[in-house]
C-alpha cells in the first residue's frame, strides 16, 4: 500500500488475544497496522478474571514497541445498553463498567459498543437507557472514550438511523468521552447508499447535519454479504461483497478522514487481512494513476 496514505488512515484489524492481550500488538504489526481492535475479555461471558499487572505493563510496552497508534476495545456482545428489564440492566451496568475499567487500565483509546435492542419498548426509552449507561461509565476517571457503533437495524436494534445515534449523544453529559464508530457494512445494510459517489456524498452530508462529522471518531471497514437496506449484519472480505471496492474506495479516498482508525472486521480475520490490504492497495494505485 502506498506508504504515506496508509500511515495517514491508520489501517487496522480485529486481532486475537490468544495467549494474553500483551501478544496482540505484535500480531497487528505483521500487517503494519497503525490501529487495532481487541476484546479485553471473553466476549461471550459476563465476568472476567482481573488482568495481572505484569500483563498490563507488557501490553503497553508492546503497543509502543510495535507503534500501534490507536487501540479499540470492543465490548461484549452480551451487553444490551437499551434493555428495559431491571434485572438485566444491573448485569449490563456492572459488566460495562468492568469493561471500561479494563480499557482504562490498558490505556486503550476507545471502548466500542453496539447500542443494543429495544424488545417491544419505544425508541425514546431505549435512547435514554443507552445514554444513562454511557453516563455512568464515563464518570469513571480515565481517557478512554465510548464509541457507539452504527447498527445494521437487524431485529429491534437501535442506532441504525443517524437520528437515533444523535438522540443518544445528546443525552450524554460528558461530550468529550463519547463519539461514533461508523461500520461501513452496517450503514450499508441499514439502507444508506454509500456505494455510489453521489450516494456517499449525500450520506456523509446527512451524517454531518444530523450528528456532526466531528463526532465520527473511527470506522469499522467491512464489506457486506447482504444488499443495501437488507438490515442484516453479515460482514464480507473487502471487495468481495455488495458494497464492493467502489464503496470501500469512497471512504479510503476521503481526505477528511485521514488520521482516523479504519479497523477491519472481515470474516477471515488475520488469515484474510493480506488479501484485504491488496484490495486497498489497488484502490490507492488507481488514485495515484488519476493524479
| Interface ranges with Zn ion (CB under 5 A) | 183, 220, 233
**Shortest CB 12 distance to Zn ion, Å:** 12
The residue whose grid cell reads 489501517 is 11
41/186 with CB nearer Zn ion: 186
Looking at the Cβ atoms of 6 and 160, the one nearer to Zn ion is 160
**CB closer to Zn ion out of 51 and 226:** 226
Concatenate the DSSP letters of all residues of 159-200 into one string. Answer: -SSHHHHHHHHHT-S-GGGEEEEEEHHHHHHTT---SSHHHH
* Residue whose cell numbers read 470501500: 248
Min. distance of Cβ 226 from Zn ion in angstroms? 11
Closest distance of CB 220 from Zn ion, Å: 3
What three-state secondary structure class fits 13? strand
CA distance 28 to 210: 34
User: In this complex, which beta carbon is closest to Zn ion, that of residue 201 or of residue 267?
Assistant: 267
Minimum separation from the CB atom of position 114 to Zn ion (A): 8
**105 vs 217, which CB is nearer to Zn ion?**
217
The upper half-sphere exposure of residue 144, i.e. CA atoms within 13 Å in the direction of its Cβ, equals 31
Which letter, b or e, does each residue of 77-101 get, where b requires 16 or more Cβ atoms within 10 Å of its Cβ? eebbbbbeeeeebebbbebbebbbb
Q: With contact defined as beta carbons under 8 Å apart, do 127 and 117 qualify?
A: no
Cβ at position 181, least distance to Zn ion in Å:
7
Q: With contact defined as beta carbons under 8 Å apart, do 117 and 155 qualify?
A: yes
Measured from the CB atom, is 51 or 146 closer to Zn ion? 146
Q: Give least dist CB 73 to Zn ion, A.
A: 13
Q: Three-state SS for 75?
A: coil
**Least Å from the CB of residue 150 to Zn ion:** 8
Q: Which is nearer to Zn ion, 164 or 233 (CB)?
A: 233
Question: Rounded distance, CA 112 to CA 47, Å?
Answer: 18
The closest residue (CB) to Zn ion is: 220
Angstrom distance (rounded) from CA 233 to CA 241: 12
Amino acid at each position: 500500500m502506498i506508504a504515506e496514505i496508509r500511515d495517514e488512515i491508520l489501517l487496522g484489524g480485529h486481532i486475537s488475544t490468544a495467549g494474553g492481550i500483551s501478544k496482540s500488538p505484535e500480531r497487528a504489526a505483521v500487517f503494519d497496522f497503525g490501529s487495532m481492535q481487541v476484546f479485553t475479555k471473553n466476549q461471550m461471558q459476563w465476568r472476567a478474571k482481573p488482568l495481572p499487572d505484569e500483563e498490563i505493563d507488557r501490553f503497553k510496552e508492546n503497543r509502543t514497541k510495535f507503534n500501534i497508534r490507536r487501540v479499540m476495545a470492543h465490548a461484549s456482545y452480551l451487553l444490551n445498553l437499551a434493555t428495559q428489564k431491571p434485572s438485566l440492566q444491573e448485569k449490563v451496568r456492572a459488566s460495562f463498567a468492568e469493561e471500561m475499567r479494563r480499557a482504562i487500565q490498558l490505556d486503550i483509546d476507545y471502548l466500542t459498543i453496539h447500542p443494543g435492542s429495544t424488545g417491544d419498548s419505544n425508541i425514546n426509552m431505549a435512547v435514554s437507557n443507552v445514554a444513562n449507561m454511557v453516563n455512568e461509565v464515563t464518570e469513571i476517571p480515565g481517557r478512554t472514550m465510548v464509541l457507539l457503533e452504527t447498527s445494521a437495524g437487524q431485529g429491534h436494534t437501535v442506532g441504525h438511523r443517524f437520528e437515533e445515534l444523535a438522540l443518544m449523544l445528546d443525552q450524554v453529559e460528558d461530550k468529550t468521552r463519547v463519539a461514533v464508530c461508523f461500520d461501513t457494512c452496517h450503514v450499508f445494510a441499514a439502507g444508506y447508499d454509500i456505494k455510489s459517489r453521489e450516494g456517499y456524498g449525500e450520506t456523509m452530508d446527512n451524517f454531518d447535519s444530523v450528528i456532526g462529522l466531528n463526532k465520527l471518531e473511527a470506522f469499522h471497514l467491512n464489506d457486506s454479504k447482504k444488499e443495501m437496506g437488507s438490515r442484516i449484519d453479515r460482514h464480507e472480505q473487502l471487495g468481495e461483497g455488495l458494497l464492493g471496492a467502489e464503496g470501500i474506495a469512497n471512504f479510503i479516498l476521503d481526505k477528511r478522514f485521514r488520521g482516523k482508525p479504519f479497523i477491519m472486521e472481515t470474516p477471515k480475520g488475520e488469515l484474510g487481512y493480506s488479501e484485504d490490504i491488496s484490495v486497498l492497495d489497488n484502490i490507492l494505485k488507481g488514485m495515484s494513476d488519476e493524479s
